[in-house]
A and B are shown apart, each in its own frame.
Chain A
Amino acid sequence: MQGSELQKYFHEPLFIADIKATTKNDAIEELLNLFLETKHIRNRHIVLEMLHTRETLGSTGIGKGVAIPHGRTTAASDVLIAFGKSEAGIDFDAIDGKPVHLFFMVIAPPHDEDNVYLPILGSLVTTLNIKKNRDKLKKVETFEEFLSVITGE
């Protein structure tokens, strides 16, 4: 999946340029709250439990300052991605032990018609493996700037 295809899963209300959280749990909740505020998800505790359970499977902090908490839940109907950035960095039990600055939360329904969930995760990993992209994302202040990095424009 190309960055240009990724674009449609991001929405401005699911974007935070400056995450307030300072802990892993608070960061997860702060991102999840975006889905609740925009009414993409109604049942907070079910999704929160799913995300915490996912972390017990292995931290979604994939290293180099990036975390991609994700999961399918019966409490969602669409695949959506929230983005948040922390300048100070948050300890997320990442595999390299480094603080996380860039967060992408991917929430998907139990089944997505076009089977995009895994390709989305793969595409995010690929995009974020590129140092230039990470450096640019750490500096974005607006949703437009953010999208231009994601789409590679």
Chain B
Amino acid sequence: MLKKDLEMLVALQDLDLMIEEADDVEKLGFNITGCSELKNARDELAGRLSKSLLFRYERLRSKLKRAIVPVKNDICLGCFLRQPTSIGTKGREDDEIFTCENCGRMLYWID
């Protein structure tokens, strides 16, 4: 697994969150006109991920809303459980995608 995949997943989820909340944001008084452009960009990005990774992402999203979550101070910000420090060292450096042993979400180290 390449780190590039992880970054594409983060970008994909950021896009999905934006699409999801676009209606709410519009109600607050923002001008929303580019929904279809955004959805196209989303599909284009999704198409660049491997089928298996995209499937894994979609399945987690449908179950848990957020497929990939930040880890800060060794805490999974999906379920707020502490992750073993040993995973943290690898998680920051390895190209592999690590998941939270408790909630199953993919992890993204940000500190």
Residues in A whose Cβ lies below 8 Å from that of B53: none
Measured CA separation A41–B66 after assembly (Å):
19
B-contact bits for A68-89, CB 8 A (1 contact / 0 none) = 1011111111000000000000
The answer to whether B10 and A74 touch across the interface, beta carbons within 8 angstroms, is: yes
Measured CA separation A125–B26 after assembly (Å):
11
Q: Given contacts A56-B37, A109-B70, A110-B13, are A62 and B30 in contact (CB under 8 A)?
A: yes
**Interface locus among B14-22, B82-90, B94-102:** B14-22
B-contact bits for A113-128, CB 8 A (1 contact / 0 none) = 0000010011001000
The answer to whether B11 and A46 touch across the interface, beta carbons within 8 angstroms, is: yes
Q: Given contacts A111-B77, A118-B25, A118-B28, are A74 and B18 in contact (CB under 8 A)?
A: no
From A53, A95, A121, name the one whose CB has the most chain B CB atoms within 10 angstroms.
A53
Measured CA separation A96–B15 after assembly (Å):
26
Total A-B pairs, Cβ < 8 A: 102
Contacting B at CB under 8 A, from A45-77, are 46, 49-50, 53-54, 56-60, 62, 68, 70-77
The answer to whether A54 and B7 touch across the interface, beta carbons within 8 angstroms, is: no
Q: Given contacts A42-B110, A111-B65, A118-B28, are A53 and B77 in contact (CB under 8 A)?
A: no
Q: How far is the CB of B39 from chain A (nearest CB, A)?
A: 10
Q: How many residues of A contact B (CB 8 A)?
A: 32
Q: Given contacts A72-B21, A76-B70, are A58 and B31 in contact (CB under 8 A)?
A: yes
B-contact bits for A34-48, CB 8 A (1 contact / 0 none) = 000000011100100
Additional A-B contact list (14), CB under 8 Å, known A53-B38, A57-B32: A46-B11, A49-B11, A50-B15, A74-B14, A75-B70, A75-B108, A76-B110, A110-B66, A110-B69, A111-B69, A111-B77, A118-B25, A121-B25, A125-B29
| Top-5 shortest CB links A-B | A58-B31, A77-B72, A74-B10, A50-B14, A58-B32
Which residues of B pack against A, CB within 8 Å? Answer: 7, 10-11, 13-15, 17-18, 21-22, 24-25, 28-35, 37-38, 41, 65-66, 68-70, 72, 77-78, 108, 110-111
